[in-house]
Structure 1
Amino acid sequence: MNMPRDTRSDRGSAFGAGLDPLSDDALLVLYAKGDTEAARVLTGRHLGRVFGFAARLLGDRAEAEDVAQEVMLRMWQVAGTWRSGEAQLSSWLYRVTVNLCTDRQRRKQRRPTDALDDVAEPADARADTEAAVLARERVDALQVALASLPERQRQAVVLRHIEGLSNPEIAAILDVGVEAVESLTARGKRALTAALAGQKAALGLR
């Protein structure tokens, strides 16, 4: 992950732990003033969520890592002009992630590709128990089903049912009305149910 290098001693890391209770806005202000520990705290707070969200939208962990890096880079770039209180950083990060993922998906549509190749991952050698394999198959099946949804439906479903955001929050991120979000999530959920219907028995789903 590209982020500002911290050249300070271990004392700096100990100090950084004291920044944990600060708000995102406060940490951005500190980073803009040159505090690299603030950058570390922000990265630890948001990177995993950004990566997970991008992976759900793209179905490709390598591309999701690239997107997460770009999102973090853009966060550092706006730190100096960030206006506290105007928007939540988490919502801004989701919005940037949606836009970057959308750009990548549109570029991929312009060239031949096998989407299923992007979804499948080698099984972890340690995960050789039946339960672990079944869990992996469920995750893969869900990812394939998500990939089959129209772009906006997939974004809304992931934000609502996986990220746990409220409809008004999703509306702000996707720049649509709340009623549109409700429609997108409802249609997306129905489509997911239909896509997974034939696999319920094999995947041990009810």
Structure 2
Amino acid sequence: MGDPDEALLTRVGEGDPAAVRALVARKLPRLLALAGRMLGDAAEAEDVAQETFVRAWKQARSWKPGLARFDTWLHRVALNLCYDRLRRRREVVTDAPPDVADDAPGPDRGLQARDAGSRVASAMQALPERQREAIVLCHYQELSNIEAAALMGVSVEALESLLSRGRRALRVALADMVGD
């Protein structure tokens, strides 16, 4: 099966503005979702998506069909940019300890769904990066295990192990939500 983005990417490489808009419309929601779930910050996710598209424009003219699917390459670029940002976060050294946010739901946050979504997002952020990446790719980005494993550069068995450990950690972290 050929790359469904190949013709569109060729038009992007030729400078077709309609093709650029079509590619952004097709890929932006998934890139934002991927980066948002990996980073836990919408503004950073937008920056990652923008940088990913800049790299795609630069690559479009010289894209070699058949070496890899464009969508797989685009996801890899976005994941690498997310990892760069996550590494920079760990490297920040300060003299003062950070302020601790109050995680308790306030009176204006009465909706249980919002609280549940927030808890799931926090639990996802607490996972080790590789487990979070596996869960995001398979469950949120809806990639098959084979596609996700190839994207992560691991075997399908290793991916399934990451998924299993990640799901188990999420079950433990969110155990008190069952039955709410």
The RMSD of aligned alpha carbons is 2.4
The one-letter code sitting in structure 2 at the alignment partner of 1:59 is: G
Q: What is the match of residue 94 of structure 1?
A: 75
Stretches of 4+ aligned residues off by more than 4 angstroms: 112-117
Greater RCO (CA < 8 Å, at least 6 residues apart): 2
DSSP 3-state at the match of 1:81: coil
Matches within 5 A, 1:105-144: 105-111=86-92, 133-144=111-122
In the superposition, the TM-score normalised over structure 2's length comes to 0.87
State the Cα deviation string for residues 107-131 of structure 1 (Å, max 9, x = none). 10011586986xx8xx9xxxx895x
Match of 1:35 in 2: 16
Give the whole-Å Cα distance in 1 for the aligned partners of 2:45 and 2:117.
16
Specify whether residues 59 and 129 from structure 1 end up closer, same or farther in structure 2 by C-alpha distance, changes over 3 A only: closer
Normalising by the residue count of structure 1, what TM-score does the alignment of the two structures yield?
Answer: 0.76
Q: 1:180 and 1:115, CA in 2 relative to 1: closer, same or farther beyond 3 A? A: farther
Distance 2:27 2:99 in 1: 27
C-alpha separation in 1, matches of 2:151 and 2:53: 17
- Of residues 152-161 and 82-91 in structure 1, the stretch that sits farther from structure 2 once superposed is 82-91
Aligned equivalent of 1:61: 42
Q: Deviations over 1:37-61 (max 9, x none)?
A: 1000000000111001100000111
| 2:158 corresponds to 1:187 | no
Structure 1 position 171 matched with structure 2 position 149:
yes
* CA distance in structure 2 between the aligned counterparts of 1:89 and 1:138, rounded to whole angstroms: 35
Match of 2:28 in 1: 47
Which of 30, 37, 53 in structure 2 is aligned with 1:72?
53
5+ residue gaps, structure 1? 1-21
**Identity rate, percent:** 46
Taking the aligned partners of 1:61 and 1:106, their CA distance within structure 2 comes to 18
Q: How many residues align?
A: 171
Q: How far apart in 2 are the matches of 1:111 and 1:87?
A: 36
